[in-house]
Amino acid sequence: MTRPASIKRMHPYLKEWVIMAPATDVRPWNGAVLNTVAADEPDFDPTCHLCPGASRSNGAENPRYLDTYVFDNDFASLTLDSEARGICRVVCFDPRHNVTLADMETEQIESVLRTFAGQFNEMASIPGMEYVMLFENKGKEIGVSNPHPHGQIYATDFIPRIPSTMYASAQEFHAVSGGCVFCDALGKELKSGQRILASNEHFVAFVPSFARFKYEVHLMPRRHVPFISSLGSSEIRAMAELYRELVIRYDNLFARRIPNITVFYNAPTKQGLDLSPWHFHVQFAPPVRAADKLKYLAGFETGGGNIINPSLPEDSAAELKRASANRTSVVSS
């Protein structure tokens, strides 16, 4: 059967069309390409502001931490005493300078997730904070200034646009059907099975049918909970197991460490909001279309707001399924 040149699918969380145009993925490319050979980083870099015992840019000395380490960002975009009120923190995942989450054992990733959960509770309790976003930016290609494995946390006195839109969509779906828009999407993916990458007792990882990015993956708990801190001990462990599998698959997809943006979508923390419509989940959005090509948002996407995915989600899921889920030596070094 001949495939259409392009299709569009409604994104149920964002209430916007996503265009899938696989024909654009094979067009001639004379644009920028990425260096696919990873830099040879040391286990410890004394000039790195995130390494244990090293001095940060503000003169503070990091403790010689052995697990995770959290501190307030020295170059914060938000502060509690400014008009743009909020707080920004850095979460170092590991004392080793030259690893990523894909290099860590499940227990170490579990420790990172528990740190995120604890920080979420702490920052959500700050008066006036309406949203707490946990995220990781990975890769120099997308502007990360320090390769040391780390994530960030932003607590804001407003709900950012995307989670605000997601909450409104979830609230509307709940009002009309009494159900959860996220549970509904998960149920459809489980029924289809076509885009499921991995699952266990507590979590499911899948490429959503409405993926905006070529290798986008959602990691969602089977149980309906609003926050990462709502998860039980066995659920955190199960989440760590699938999280590790996913980041290894990403590395093995192109035999390199591809850049990635990972966002933990918790419910808003604004006082008085009904939390019942929200379903905590994680979205992985690697901004790549090939091993050596980034996905750029150009005129139509930046100006119009609708994303063009250069692949069908079913095809991307098949690619990720073929990528090994085992830690191997395929990553370029």
pLDDT digits (tens, 9 = 90+) for 83-93: 989 999 999 99
Q: What is the mean pLDDT of residues 223-227?
A: 98
Residue 237 belongs to a domain: yes
Residue 72 belongs to a domain: yes
Beta strand segments in 16-140, E:
16-20, 69-72, 86-92, 131-138
CA dist 330 and 13 (Å) reads 36
**What is the model's pTM?**
0.95
CA dist 6 and 19 (Å) reads 7
Contacts of 307 (CB under 8 A, 6+ apart): 18, 19, 212, 213, 297, 301
Q: What is the pLDDT of residues 134-163, one digit of tens each?
A: 999 999 988 898 999 999 999 999 999 999
Residue 2 belongs to a domain: no
Which pLDDT value is given to residue 238?
98
Residue type, 19: I
More confident residue, 184 or 35: 184
More confident residue, 228 or 40: 228
Helix axes 181-192, 161-177, angle to 10 degrees: 80
Q: What is the pLDDT of residues 287-312, one digit of tens each?
A: 999 988 888 888 999 999 999 999 99
Residue 122 belongs to a domain: yes
Residue 292 belongs to a domain: yes
Q: What is the pLDDT of residues 172-193, one digit of tens each?
A: 999 999 999 999 999 999 999 9
The two tokens of residue 122 are 């702490």
The two tokens of residue 39 are 């830099």
Return mean pLDDT, the chain: 93
Confidence of residue 333 (pLDDT cuts 50, 70, 90): very low
Enclosing domain of residue 82: 43-322
Residue 329 belongs to a domain: no
- Could you tell me if 25 and 36 are in contact, meaning their C-beta atoms sit under 8 angstroms apart? no
Confidence of residue 323 (pLDDT cuts 50, 70, 90): very high
Confidence of residue 34 (pLDDT cuts 50, 70, 90): confident
CA proximity to 130, closest of 165, 164, 81: 164
150 is catalytic: yes
Domain count, the chain: 1
pLDDT at 14 over 90: yes
Residue 13 belongs to a domain: no
**Catalytic position from the list 150, 202, 279, 281:** 150
Residue 27 belongs to a domain: no
- Specify the DSSP element, H or E, that contains 197: strand 196-199
Q: What CATH number is associated with residue 47?
A: 3.30.428.10
